[in-house]
């Protein structure tokens, strides 16, 4: 986390230029133990300690270690964001809901994957829902500033963008159904203003009806049951008060989720609740946070330690199918109706959703079959299929864990200085190494994963050489290690958020490196000695804000400087701000920054965590 890059020095007192978003300076991950290229190549002879760090970081073994239950502690809207309570749903609220829902799904992605036992226990429901909502958010971010068409309201336009993005990016059974739920919201609210409690209740009912209609053979005890229960509770609330309705809907959805094992024997046998329903509950709770400013308390869902085998008996009573086929399709309604009959006869878990066009439209088709060719041929007969994806369920089976030599699995090893940061990474499934490790300690962590392919995130320029050396040693032992040269924990969080086990390892590493490079980072600390910086001279006690490793701001007040550096970074663009508060951060620091962002940058989502890192009261990431 210490600054290292060489840049031409500016004279003291000269103003600092605006932060530039990196383009071709994104990190490049080097594989097989090679030297990791950096964003900007530092001078090896330069003193790389900032004025706020007069001594090296504590040696390995003395840093903070993870505590608690090993899961990240998320700071909720209620704890750290000062938002006005909403009486109606507007476009800004839709955008915050999408961003907050995606954060929640990413936070619980591994948990939801672990709940996945129906219709096929392939452990990808959380991943599919994250990918689907990511596509929705990207569509919303790219086009929200365009004018609504066909007389739609701004919030209706935003919902349609979400629904369209989800449709095109939907993955898996749960993702396709989620896209249809969003379309139901969009269709119901496109021309309605204002959106109060009764309007939202009608939208939920429309979403539930659309979701059931998309599934050829609806099964209770699934995502469908949860959305139906939410709609019923919203209608029974019978009020115009938006807050009352969203609380009622989300609360009943949570209760319906708890009942899913009673409705579906596969869930009862595994001792879990429905995975897709769990994801929907997180989205509804995110809507509660947006509307009320409060995070609803929920009991932990039923989970299990071991995933059942992929040979589990299907609850539909049909034979087990070996493949999942999914594709987008350009076709008219009549052709899609004929295709639906053909695919229904070929397999099960058939879900077909469209974009709502009156005649010729875009459709997302999902089905489980044994005859892949016949399923694709049905799409060819109906129209123009594209983005065709075929998954063999047997290939999705997780390898049995075994000690000793590396397996064919993957793992991530992350360096973390601070108990809160360590918990965050552990919650993402990474192996955590305390800050300032030696080559041997990193190598031991890589070997302890028993994985054949490992990505290492050093999170500090001073650790990158150590990570590269450990990668070379691991390569000699037959373990393929790629180092993504992250300079800050916020970049590692961005990288871990895009991990996709369905991608080739090399492609996944590239995606992680791109995500890290797209996350600009800043560090706020207090100067411990006099120094001349590119922003001017500093004295002991001054507050320094470093962006990309260079001092950009010098201030007297910690909160004011933190707010100023966030403004400076958002001036270069951004939709998500991540805050990690340090061990010596004053109470209310994250709340103050978050409240400022809510006022000045209303379309920007803020995510805050207690990091517990030394030296830096605040670490900032902007994506």
Tell me the per-residue pLDDT of 487-512, one tens digit each, with 9 for 90 and over. 999 999 999 988 887 788 888 888 89
Residue of 565, 570, 569, 563 whose CA lies nearest to 588:
563
> How sure is the predictor about 213, in pLDDT bands with cuts at 50, 70 and 90?
confident
Q: What is residue 152's predicted lDDT score, i.e. its pLDDT?
A: 61
Of 33 and 457, the structure prediction assigns the larger pLDDT to 457
Q: What is residue 74's predicted lDDT score, i.e. its pLDDT?
A: 34
Of 398 and 464, the structure prediction assigns the larger pLDDT to 464
The whole-number average pLDDT for the span 462-477 is: 86
- pLDDT > 90: what percent of the chain? 27
The whole-number average pLDDT for the span 343-367 is: 82
Q: What is residue 141's predicted lDDT score, i.e. its pLDDT?
A: 73
Please state which of the ranges 5-14, 177-186, 426-435 shows the lowest mean pLDDT: 5-14
Distance between CA atoms of residues 166 and 246, nearest Å: 22
pLDDT at 83 over 70: no
The whole-number average pLDDT for the span 164-175 is: 84
Q: Tokens 């938002």 — which residue?
A: 83
Q: What is residue 17's predicted lDDT score, i.e. its pLDDT?
A: 25
The whole-number average pLDDT for the span 135-148 is: 68
> How sure is the predictor about 171, in pLDDT bands with cuts at 50, 70 and 90?
confident
Instruction: For each of the domains in the chain, give its residue range(s) and CATH number, in order of start.
Output: 84-292 (1.25.40.340), 323-396 (3.30.70)
Of 320 and 92, the structure prediction assigns the larger pLDDT to 92
Q: What is residue 142's predicted lDDT score, i.e. its pLDDT?
A: 67
**419 touches 67 (CB < 8 A):** yes
Q: What is residue 399's predicted lDDT score, i.e. its pLDDT?
A: 42
Residue 316's CB is within 10 A of a number of other CB atoms, namely 14
Helix (H) or strand (E) holding 373, with range, is helix 372-382
Q: Are strands 407-416 and 431-434 parallel, antiparallel or unpaired?
A: parallel
Average pLDDT in the chain:
78
pLDDT at 444 over 80: yes
- Straight-line distance from the first to the last Cα atom of the chain, in angstroms, rounded to the nearest whole number: 18
pLDDT at 42 over 90: no
Q: Are strands 605-610 and 576-581 parallel, antiparallel or unpaired?
A: parallel
Q: Is the peptide bond preceding residue 197 cis, with omega within 30 degrees of 0? A: no
The whole-number average pLDDT for the span 28-53 is: 43
Q: Coil, strand, or helix at residue 536?
A: strand
Distance between CA atoms of residues 266 and 273, nearest Å: 10
pLDDT at 411 over 70: yes
Q: What is residue 45's predicted lDDT score, i.e. its pLDDT?
A: 37
Residue of 34, 97, 110 whose CA lies nearest to 470:
34
Backbone phi, then psi, for 411, in 5-degree steps? -155, 165
The alpha-helical segments, DSSP class H, found in 144-189 are 154-169, 172-189
The whole-number average pLDDT for the span 317-324 is: 64
Burial label for 502, CB within 10 Å (0-12, 13-18, 19+), is: middle
Please state which of the ranges 63-77, 226-240, 394-408, 454-468 shows the lowest mean pLDDT: 63-77
Instruction: With both helix axes pointing from N to C terminus, report the angle between 172-189 and 197-214 in degrees, rounded to the nearest 10.
Output: 140
**576 touches 604 (CB < 8 A):** yes
Q: In DSSP terms, which residues pair with 351 in a beta bridge?
A: 215, 366
Please state which of the ranges 79-83, 271-275, 584-588 shows the lowest mean pLDDT: 79-83
Residue 568's CB is within 10 A of a number of other CB atoms, namely 20
Q: What is residue 568's predicted lDDT score, i.e. its pLDDT?
A: 93
The whole-number average pLDDT for the span 408-429 is: 86
């Amino acid at each position: 986390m210490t600054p290292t890059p060489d840049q031409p020095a500016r004279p003291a007192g000269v103003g600092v230029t605006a932060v530039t978003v990196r383009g071709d300076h994104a990190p490049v991950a080097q594989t097989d133990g090679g030297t990791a290229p950096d964003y900007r190549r530092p001078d090896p002879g330069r003193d790389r300690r900032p004025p706020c760090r007069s001594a090296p970081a504590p040696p390995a073994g003395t840093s903070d270690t993870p505590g608690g239950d090993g899961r990240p502690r998320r700071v909720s809207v209620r704890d750290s964001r000062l938002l006005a309570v909403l009486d109606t749903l507007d476009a800004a609220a839709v955008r915050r809901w999408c961003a907050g829902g995606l954060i929640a799904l990413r936070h619980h992605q591994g948990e939801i994957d672990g709940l996945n036992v129906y219709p096929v226990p392939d452990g990808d429901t959380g991943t599919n829902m994250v990918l689907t909502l990511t596509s929705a958010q990207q569509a919303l971010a790219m086009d929200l500033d365009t004018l609504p068409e066909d007389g739609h309201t701004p919030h209706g336009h935003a919902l349609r963008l979400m629904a369209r993005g989800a449709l095109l990016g939907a993955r898996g059974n749960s993702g396709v159904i989620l896209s249809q739920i969003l379309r139901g919201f969009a269709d119901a609210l496109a021309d309605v203003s204002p959106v109060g409690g009764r309007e939202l209740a009608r939208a939920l009912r429309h979403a539930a009806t659309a979701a059931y209609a998309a599934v050829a053979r609806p099964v209770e005890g699934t995502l469908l049951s949860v959305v139906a229960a939410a709609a019923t509770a919203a209608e029974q609330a019978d009020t115009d008060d938006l807050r009352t309705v969203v609380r009622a809907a989300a609360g009943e959805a949570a209760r319906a989720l708890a009942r899913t094992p009673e409705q579906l024997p596969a869930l009862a046998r595994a001792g879990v609740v429905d995975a897709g329903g769990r994801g929907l509950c997180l989205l509804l709770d995110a809507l509660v946070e947006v509307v009320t400013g409060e995070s609803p308390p929920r009991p932990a869902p039923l989970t299990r330690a071991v995933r059942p085998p992929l040979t589990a008996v299907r609850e539909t009573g049909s034979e087990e199918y070996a493949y999942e086929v999914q594709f987008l399709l350009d076709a008219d309604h009549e052709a899609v109706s004929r295709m639906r009959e053909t695919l229904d006869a070929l397999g099960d878990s058939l879900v077909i959703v469209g974009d709502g066009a009156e005649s010729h439209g875009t459709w997302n088709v999902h089905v489980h079959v044994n005859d892949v060719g016949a399923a694709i041929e049905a799409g060819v007969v109906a129209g123009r299929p594209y983005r065709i994806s075929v998954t063999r369920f047997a290939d999705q089976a997780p390898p049995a864990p075994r000690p000793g030599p590396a397996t064919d699995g993957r793992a991530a090893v992350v360096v973390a200085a601070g108990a809160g940061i360590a918990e965050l990474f552990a919650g993402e499934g990474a192996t955590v190494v305390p800050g300032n490790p030696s080559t041997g300690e990193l190598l031991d962590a890589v070997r302890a994963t028993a994985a054949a392919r490992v990505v290492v995130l050093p999170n500090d320029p001073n650790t990158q050489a150590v990570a590269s050396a450990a990668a070379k040693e691991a390569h000699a032992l037959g373990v393929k290690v790629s180092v993504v040269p992250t300079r800050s924990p916020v970049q590692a969080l961005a990288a871990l958020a895009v991990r996709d086990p369905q991608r080739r390892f090399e492609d996944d590493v590239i995606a992680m490196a791109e995500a890290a490079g797209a996350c600009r980072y800043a560090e706020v600390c207090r100067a411990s000695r006099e120094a001349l910086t590119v922003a001017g001279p500093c004295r002991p006690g001054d507050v320094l804000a470093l962006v990309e490793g260079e001092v950009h701001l010098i201030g007297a007040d910690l909160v004011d400087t933190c707010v100023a550096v966030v403004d400076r970074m958002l001036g270069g663009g951004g939709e998500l701000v991540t805050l990690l508060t340090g061990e010596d951060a004053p109470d209310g620091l994250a709340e103050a920054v978050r409240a400022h962002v809510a006022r000045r940058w209303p379309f920007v989502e803020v995510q805050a965590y207690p990091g517990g890192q030394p030296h830096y009261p605040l670490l900032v990431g902007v994506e």
